[in-house]
Chains A and B, each alone.
Chain A
């Protein structure tokens, strides 16, 4: 931006620095965990050892679903969700409202293998330990850390929304202060490990990640603020404070109630009709009020080539008549629908399968690096000031402490899974490791040595994690591949690859110290 005066640039640099610095630690937590949970389905598959990811539903599921229905109290037929796992098992959730609170769901979750045998049954109130899947604890812990920093609602969403906005401000000011954005794309680090060298590294990572940072910050702030702030504000002004009315206006009113008993159509017929209309197979099915005259079947179709989002089709549950395509928001395609439809794919990077998600992880890593180098740059410039001098060690502790704590939370998860307390062991593993990592610099002042110790620690933790997983009853590679769960092997290999990368300098140094072997 050549037209900006020196004064403006100075102010923008200050805003860029402060916006990145004040909340940098939390921003780092959100960006790093966000880069990891791009693969949340694979994390679940790796940690559970089962083929948990959903695949297009195959024909002939009707009799299996009917058999499962017989095993569930009709009170839970109010809201049903069905999907098929890669190993052929049907995952079914049956829910109903058994008390006064309409938002409290009671339900049953069944996992049924292709022969009709029930592999797992969980029953209880939504959110309770009995109802939640213990093998999902690690994924949920990491996703919660990214989405709301484990703070209570709505404060967690406010916090991550503000972080999204902070990142947006840092990214936009970054664009404005860079005079030569194109040249900065190819900047090479100046030698000497000086402040300018650090700046070159920050510039390179930051400029490559700029469009991505803007898109992620914008969509992330929207996703955080939409329900925590946007919905209450809009409901207050346009619906007299009635949030339920606001939700119905945005998502569509529920169909007219008719509790008269009526047989619902066969699941296979609904799947065939949905695939015929959309041209793509069905990924999941929702059934409201099964066995009643007002039953509605809603299918989620697989993403068609070239489409950003999936289609959702609605059918009358009794007659099978096609009711129409359900929009994400509103009753017909419009500007608002298009805008909301863009948010998910842009934030999650899931619009082009594995390929786009790998790119999202790579750009997320660039952003993480840019936040850390930005903080280092900020601190180096203030290295002579007494208050700031110790902050560099603290930054090192946070930068390495988070991945170390995440790795230890995985250790805690596998241990906890054996004792039926995966949730608490995952959390305690994280907290204890974070405390140790944060207190580690107290007795050490040499930053290079400190960084090497953290690096060694994380490398060793990741290197041993697959062995720990298998040692605690985790699925072996052969079994995992046989049951269509390739993420198990991929996760272990990734742990070892990152561990090798982290341990490589130490291994090379130790090899260099070995005495040369004599021919005799």
Chain B
């Protein structure tokens, strides 16, 4: 069952895949790197929260790029990706401006 508000993605699969696997995947992974230092524990060395998001950045970008390519239900994929994007954006904005 597709997410109702993301039905456009299922109607235009080619365009949706380009958008989700391109700019959305890039912004999602950069925001992942920006938001994770505020969530992850620092660890024994005091740097895990700073280092791990940078280490994982290529993996996250690659996964975010592959997900919409492999997904059959693009409405669901768009929902998941936009949801994550929103959550990351909220965390970063809260850290910078609140």
Known pairs A222-B58, A234-B33; A336 contacts B66 (CB<8 A): no
Tell me what chain B mostly uses at the interface: helix, strand, loop, or mixed: helix
Q: Across the two chains, which residue of chain B brings its CB closest to A11? A: B69
Q: Which of B3-17 contact A (CB under 8 A)?
A: 17
Q: Per a CB cutoff under 8 Å, which of B30, B34, B50 touches A250?
A: B50
Q: Is the CB of A164 within 8 A of B46?
A: no
How many chain B residues sit at the interface, stated as a range, is 20 to 34
* Cβ distance B18 to chain A, nearest Cβ, rounded Å: 11
- A230, A250, A332: which contacts B57 (Cβ < 8 A)? A230
CA distance A234 to B40 in the complex (A): 13
Residues 1-18 of chain A: 1 if any B CB is under 8 Å from the residue's CB, otherwise 0?
000110110011001000
- CB contacts (< 8 Å) of B37 on chain A: these are 234, 237-238
Q: Is the CB of B55 within 8 A of A222?
A: yes
- A330 at the binding interface (Cβ < 8 Å): yes
Known: A230-B33, A237-B38. A330 touches B62 (CB 8 A): no
Please determine whether A237 and B35 come into contact, CB atoms closer than 8 angstroms. yes
Q: Taking each of B35, B43, B54, which has the highest tally of chain A beta carbons within 10 Å of its own beta carbon?
A: B54
Distance in angstroms between the alpha carbons of A439 and B57 in the assembled complex: 39
Does A225 belong to the interface (CB within 8 Å)?
yes
Q: Please tell me if the beta carbons of B33 and A334 are within 8 angstroms of each other in the complex.
A: no
Residues of B within 8 A of A236 (CB): 34, 96
Q: A333-B44, A333-B45, A336-B45 are in contact. Are A234 and B62 (CB under 8 A)?
A: no
A331 cross-chain contacts in B, Cβ below 8 A: 45-47
Interface centre among A8, A225, A331 (most CB of B within 10 A): A225
Q: Does B75 contact A (CB under 8 A)?
A: no
B95 at the A interface (CB under 8 A): yes
CA distance A5 to B61 in the complex (A): 24
Q: Shortest Cβ distance from A484 into chain B, in angstroms?
A: 39
Interface residues of A in 232-253 (CB under 8 A from B): 233-234, 236-238, 246, 249-250
Residues in B with CB closer than 8 Å to A249 are 46-47, 50
10 extra interchain contacts, Cβ-Cβ under 8 A, other than A15-B66, A169-B66, A330-B47? A11-B17, A230-B54, A231-B54, A234-B50, A333-B44, A334-B45, A336-B43, A336-B48, A336-B51, A339-B55
Q: For this complex, into which size category does the number of interface residues on chain A fall?
A: 35 or more
Q: Name the contact of A164 in the complex, choosing from B33, B44, B58, B65 (C-beta under 8 A).
A: B58
Taking a contact as CB atoms under 8 Å apart, the answer to whether A330 and B45 are in contact is yes
Q: Contact: B58 with A12, CB < 8 Å?
A: no
Q: Is A460's beta carbon under 8 Å from chain B?
A: no
* Residues of the B chain whose Cβ atoms lie less than 8 Å from the Cβ of A450: none
Do the beta carbons of B45 and A327 come within 8 Å of each other? yes
B92 interface residue, CB < 8 Å from A?
yes
Q: How many Å lie between the Cα of A164 and that of B62 in the bound state? A: 10
